[in-house]
Amino acid sequence: MTKSQFICIYCLKREPELIPSEAHIIPAAIGGTRYSKKIVCKNCNGLTNQMFENAVIERFAFFRSIWGIKSRKKDRVPHVSTKLKFADIEGKVSIDQNGELTGPIVMTNLDTNGIKEYRVIGFGEKGKKQAEIKRQQISAKHPNVAWEEVHHAETPLIQFVIETPEVDDIILRRLAAKVAFESWAEKRASLVASDSQYAQIRDFILTGNHDFCSGVLPAPPPLTGLSDLPVGIHAGGIVHNVSSPILGAFIVFFGLFHYWVLISTSYQSLQSDDEFWIENPQKGYFPDSKLRCQARPILIDWGQYVRAWRNDPQGILKKAVTYNEAKFQEAWREALQDGRVLKP
């Protein structure tokens, strides 16, 4: 054989029946740049993109915006949909990467006589102009509408309510499993990852069954290279040891969302090995993965994580949320101080 034959790690079909494709290991939508052309077929890549790419676009919109992660197709930083609260008004709005509203707020409701009422609200000079344009558009369609101009205080207190992803979201746990499994397949070849010992993780990634395959970590993973990641960095580490049948991984998204993943529970390793990698979504680069060169192999007590998550997911979650909030607040304060984000 002159060319290594490739097996898709998801559908287990082989060339030439299937077409190889360029599969991003961490979705490009959250700034992933690393990809492999020898592990996932075109069909399954489309399927996993649909499942994970769309999910992260929606859930991590806020993070993509503050770190300026552009979308591949439109080459711009996506707007963030959010709720806005201002005086007695509450409405859905969209904000751009500078934290500014992308347009006026338009609200409709029926008054006590059943007559439709429009409110067009714009903040600042730019917002006022946008609101006036919108008002004229509505007037053109509904010439009978009578308008009344209302001025609010000069510096209104506007409150944005931004929803960030729940750390225990099953789709994020599946995403962590996908990143771990594909990293392993890339490292060891697709033929290795097509083995039946990976049936459960494959199923968990594709369907969400076997949800013991991945869980939330209440704090950073117990690996020196991964423990103190700055906010905004994705990272992962694969660990196995000759004296344990567990092939596991720790996956971190944005330095805030930490997961453990059991890739296989019957892995026979010939030598211990631990490897970690980081990916900087803001700069869009992927430094070479590193072996941590431990003097002694690391034996991780995986049961500690699995049991804890299964016995008390709420307790783990509470700790994870507290950790996330504190870390994010600290990063936000630092960014404000150095002028890396605009002051609200």
Which lies closer to Zn ion via its Cβ, residue 50 or residue 136? Answer: 50
Which lies closer to Zn ion via its Cβ, residue 45 or residue 65? Answer: 45
Residue 273, amino acid: D
**Can you tell me which residue has the tokens 């729940």?**
166
* Per-residue tokens: 265: 């529970």
Which lies closer to Zn ion via its Cβ, residue 21 or residue 65? Answer: 21
Which lies closer to Zn ion via its Cβ, residue 13 or residue 292? Answer: 13
Residue 43 CB, shortest distance to Zn ion, in Å, is 5
- Applying CB under 5 A, which of residues 6, 7, 10, 101 lies at the interface with Zn ion? 10
Which lies closer to Zn ion via its Cβ, residue 15 or residue 132? Answer: 15
Residue 10 CB, shortest distance to Zn ion, in Å, is 5
Choices 43-51, 230-238, 259-267, 289-297; region in contact with Zn ion by CB under 5 A: 43-51
Residue 8 CB, shortest distance to Zn ion, in Å, is 3
* Helical segments of 14-123, H only: 42-48, 54-59, 61-66
- Give the SS3 label for residue 239: strand
Choices 44-52, 106-114, 139-147, 217-225; region in contact with Zn ion by CB under 5 A: 44-52
Residue 214 CB, shortest distance to Zn ion, in Å, is 21
Residue 163, amino acid: E
181 binds Zn ion (CB under 5 A): no
8 binds Zn ion (CB under 5 A): yes
- Applying CB under 5 A, which of residues 11, 89, 219, 298 lies at the interface with Zn ion? 11
Interface with Zn ion in residues 229-258 (CB under 5 A): none
Sign (positive or negative) of CA dihedral 184, 190, 191, 196:
positive
- Cross-strand bridge partners of residue 274: 239
* Cα 271 from Cα 250, distance rounded (Å): 19
The vertex-271 CA angle with 269 and 275, nearest 5°, equals: 95
* Cβ atoms within 10 Å, residue 72: 10
Residue 269 CB, shortest distance to Zn ion, in Å, is 26
Residue 321 CB, shortest distance to Zn ion, in Å, is 36
67 binds Zn ion (CB under 5 A): no
Choices 5-13, 51-59, 152-160, 236-244; region in contact with Zn ion by CB under 5 A: 5-13
193 binds Zn ion (CB under 5 A): no
- Applying CB under 5 A, which of residues 23, 41, 239, 249 lies at the interface with Zn ion? 41
**Can you tell me which residue has the tokens 């915006």?**
65
Half-sphere exposure of 226 (CA within 13 A, CB side): 33
What is the enclosing helix (H) or strand (E) of 326?
helix 313-337
Residue 11 CB, shortest distance to Zn ion, in Å, is 3
Cα-to-chain-centroid distance, residue 318: 19
- Applying CB under 5 A, which of residues 7, 29, 39, 44 lies at the interface with Zn ion? 44
Residue 10, amino acid: Y
Which lies closer to Zn ion via its Cβ, residue 20 or residue 245? Answer: 20
Which lies closer to Zn ion via its Cβ, residue 11 or residue 206? Answer: 11
The vertex-192 CA angle with 189 and 196, nearest 5°, equals: 145
Q: How do the residues of the chain divide into helix, strand and coil, expressed in percent and rounded to 5?
A: 35, 20, 45
* Cα 59 from Cα 61, distance rounded (Å): 6
Residue 38 CB, shortest distance to Zn ion, in Å, is 12
* Cα 249 from Cα 176, distance rounded (Å): 9
Residue 338 CB, shortest distance to Zn ion, in Å, is 45
277 binds Zn ion (CB under 5 A): no
Half-sphere exposure of 31 (CA within 13 A, CB side): 27
Could you list the residues that contact Zn ion (CB under 5 A)? 8, 10-11, 41, 44
